């Protein structure tokens, strides 16, 4: 019954069942990508309004997402194993991870016990601590790999393992975001985060980002409208979030005009 209800709601909230147009990369970059970036910014400004949500978490997430082009370049230059051809890219990633480590330590030092009974800040802190430990480990791994390349010492570091480690860092931060949402709204924001925010963050900097949105426009539309419907009609809108919800909804509708 719940599934049927969700399907009916999706049809009611979507302008049409399937996108009528597919955008090319150039059109996407001009007409859609800037608005998607603004929606992500609206979302993170909105969740920081929740009590005890750590604002220091946002720049760490954004910094990790900025590695996407370098990860793609790593794959294209060294598709199987890391070698001298991709050392410059590897060193760029190492440098960014060093900056992230500094931000991560600031995030940890800013953590305080929650003043609210309605969020699980201990689970969030545990995930952030695990992220910091994993970040240090990955940074050390890349430092060692770069040293071996510079010393012209043969090594068999597979590219996919490095990408896997970087993706795991992203997963830990994503899970942490949800743990700082109050219980009353956690499921609503979890659904929106993992069905819209997280995939858009993962895809927005990729060369094929336009193709992802072309394929998933209906599902993304459902995620936006479900959050808006729930928080404005079914539940009390969290304090101060009305303008952000309206902005996200309006921005998304402007994006839809490119597809329908």
pTM, rounded to two decimals? 0.85
The residue behind tokens 């070698």 is 83
SS3 257: coil
**Model confidence over 86-126: pLDDT tens digits?**
999 999 999 999 999 999 998 988 877 666 555 557 888 89
Per-residue pLDDT for 251 more than 70? yes
DSSP-derived secondary structure letter, 237: P
Q: How far apart are CA 229 and CA 55, in angstroms?
A: 26
The model's confidence at residue 207, banded by pLDDT at 50, 70 and 90, is: confident
Question: Two tokens at 54?
Answer: 């750590």
Rounded Cα distance between 17 and 26, Å, is 25
Spell out the residues 6+ positions from residue 124 whose beta carbon is closer than 8 angstroms to its own. 54, 176, 179, 180
Per-residue pLDDT of 149-196, as tens digits, reads 999 988 788 999 999 999 999 999 999 999 999 889 999 999 999 999
């Amino acid at each position: 019954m719940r599934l049927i209800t969700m399907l009916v709601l999706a049809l009611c909230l979507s302008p049409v069942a399937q996108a009528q147009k597919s955008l090319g990369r150039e059109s996407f970059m001009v007409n859609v990508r800037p608005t998607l970036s603004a929606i992500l910014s609206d979302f993170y400004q909105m969740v920081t309004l929740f009590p005890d949500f750590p604002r220091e978490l946002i720049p760490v997430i954004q910094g990790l997402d900025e590695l996407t082009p370098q990860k793609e370049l790593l794959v294209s230059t060294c598709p199987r194993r890391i070698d001298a051809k991709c050392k410059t890219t590897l060193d760029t990633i190492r440098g960014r991870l060093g900056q992230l480590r500094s931000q991560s330590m600031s995030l940890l030092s800013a953590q305080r016990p929650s003043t609210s009974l309605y969020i699980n800040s201990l689970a969030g802190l545990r995930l952030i601590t695990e992220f910091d430990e994993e970040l240090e480990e990955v940074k050390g791994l890349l430092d060692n790999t770069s040293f071996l390349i510079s010393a012209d010492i043969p090594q068999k570091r597979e590219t996919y393992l490095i990408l896997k480690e970087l993706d795991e860092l992203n997963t830990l931060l994503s899970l942490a975001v949800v743990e700082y949402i109050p219980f009353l709204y956690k499921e609503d924001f979890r659904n929106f985060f993992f069905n819209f925010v997280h995939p858009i963050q993962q895809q927005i900097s990729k060369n094929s980002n336009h193709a992802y949105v072309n394929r998933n426009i209906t599902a993304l539309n459902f995620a936006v409208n479900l959050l808006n419907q729930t928080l404005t009609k079914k539940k009390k809108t969290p304090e101060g979030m009305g303008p952000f919800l309206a902005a996200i909804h309006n921005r998304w509708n402007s994006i839809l005009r490119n597809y329908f």
